[in-house]
Amino acid sequence: MLTINHFKITAIKCLCFYALLLSQLALAEHAKPTIKLGMSTALTGPAKQIGEQLALGSNIYFNKINKENGINGQSIDLILADDGYEPKNTVVNTREFLFDQKIHAIFGSMGTPTAHAIKPLLDRHRIPFLMPFTGADFLHNSSMPNVFNLRASYQDEAIEQINYLVKERKHEKIGLMIQADEFGYMVESNLVNALKIHGIKPVEVTRFKRNSDDISKALALLKESNATAICLVG
């Protein structure tokens, strides 16, 4: 048989539960939203070591920030997606970031062909594109104000590389080994232009397939060209 004491205990428990519930709801109302960043990178495939290091370094730093009360009280949620350094996968990941994950920005994405593949999405949605791991020239264009670059452009890098080979190392027979995609073509054009400054043309230009380590044919052609230095783009 229930006694008055039982009713009192039950009532107290109910009051405690509702007080706790109300306090949690109050905290939720005043909690600042999480900053959601989407990062598409190579976590599998031949280029995964770069992607893994980018993801590891980013997570280490963002975890540090989160432990220090985030950014103005907002924690950072880095959402990782593997694209294997294949552009078609990057497009799928980016669409999921935008439409399903509702991210606030794309961060640290890896690669030029992958960035080139999502350019239409970047242009259409004007989502911030933060510190991509690429020096692609089109990302240094003033028509893309939503892009925040960290590294130098391929043009700037090519000029410094060729200056070093020609001025300091005194090479004149320079060959190019180029990855056969947007990344390779973009850097190749910058290297050729940098060589023109010194009145030099590549003695040989060879190509190899992205995500492949089969460079035997390309290397054989470069050996036959008697190149004394090689610029490898890949």
What is residue 31's predicted lDDT score, i.e. its pLDDT? Answer: 67
Q: Write out pLDDT tens, residues 136-171.
A: 999 998 889 999 998 999 999 999 999 999 999 999
Asked if residue 53 is part of any domain, the answer here is yes
Residues shown for the chain: 234
Domain total for the chain? 2
Task: Pick the last residue of a domain from 148, 167, 193.
Answer: 148
C-alpha to C-alpha distance for 91 and 26, rounded to whole angstroms:
39
Which CATH number do you get for residue 158? 3.40.50.2300
Q: Is 199 helix (H, G, I), strand (E, B) or coil?
A: coil
Note whether 207 and 131 are same-domain residues: no
Asked if residue 209 is part of any domain, the answer here is yes
Task: Pick the last residue of a domain from 148, 176, 209.
Answer: 148
CB of 29 closer than 8 Å to CB of 71: no
Asked if residue 41 is part of any domain, the answer here is yes
71 strand-pairing partners: 74
Asked if residue 143 is part of any domain, the answer here is yes
Among candidates 131, 152, 213, which has minimal Cα distance to 179?
Answer: 213
Note whether 101 and 206 are same-domain residues: no
Residues lower than pLDDT 50 in the chain: 1-2, 4, 6-22, 25, 27-28
Structure pTM? 0.78
Token reading at 215: 């460079």
Q: Is 133 helix (H, G, I), strand (E, B) or coil?
A: strand
CB of 229 closer than 8 Å to CB of 171: yes
What is residue 234's predicted lDDT score, i.e. its pLDDT? Answer: 86
CA distance from start to end of the chain: 81
Asked if residue 64 is part of any domain, the answer here is yes
CB of 192 closer than 8 Å to CB of 137: no
Q: Which domain holds residue 124?
A: 35-148
Asked if residue 8 is part of any domain, the answer here is no
